[in-house]
């Protein structure tokens, strides 16, 4: 059974969201506790699934992924099998960073990155539009990012 988060847990999680490369000693100092109990709390937060992973966030533009496109997809059939098949296939595409099942006029919202619009064009025609069951695709190109964060409001 998962424990509830107390204020110290929340401060630890906030510190890790800001910079997960900080040492346990640095985090302990930031939240006002000693290193050993802080380490145990971090381990518990990992064990209980509050911390899923610790990663480096790479600037997509610095690695040549200059186009970001939000894609709305509607399937021809809405049975559970069709949703599962589409989900399984979309997971295999490296260009897809996120995929969400929707309620409403579309079935999926997908966030795609590509080198440029030509690369997205290739992705669209060679991969996405060829998936079985795809009825309609509406692509929205992001001109600029106003806010992008992975930090949850704790």
134 and 90 in one domain? yes
137 and 91 in one domain? yes
Mind listing the pLDDT tens digit of every residue in the chain (154 residues)?
A: 557 899 999 999 999 999 999 999 999 999 999 999 999 999 999 999 999 999 999 999 999 999 999 999 999 987 677 889 999 999 999 999 999 999 999 999 999 999 999 999 999 999 999 998 999 999 999 999 999 999 999 9
84 and 119 in one domain? yes
Residue 80 in any domain: the answer is yes
Return d(Cα 53, Cα 69) in angstroms, integer: 26
User: Please, which residues have CB within 8 angstroms of residue 127's CB and are 6 or more apart in sequence?
Assistant: 93, 95
């Amino acid at each position: 059974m998962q424990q509830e988060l107390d204020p110290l847990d929340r401060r630890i999680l906030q510190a890790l969201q800001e910079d997960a490369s900080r040492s346990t000693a640095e985090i302990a100092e930031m939240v006002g506790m000693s290193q050993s109990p802080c380490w145990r709390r971090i381990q518990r937060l990992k064990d209980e699934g509050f911390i899923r992973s610790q990663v480096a966030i790479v600037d997509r533009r610095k690695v040549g992924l200059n186009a970001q496109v939000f894609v709305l997809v509607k399937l021809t059939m809405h049975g559970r099998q069709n949703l599962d098949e589409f989900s399984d296939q979309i997971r295999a595409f490296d260009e897809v960073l996120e995929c969400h099942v929707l309620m409403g006029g579309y079935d999926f919202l997908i966030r795609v990155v590509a080198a440029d619009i030509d690369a997205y064009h290739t992705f669209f025609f060679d991969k996405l539009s060829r998936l079985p069951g795809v009825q309609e695709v509406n692509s929205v190109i992001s001109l600029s990012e106003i806010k992008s964060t992975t930090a949850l409001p704790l």
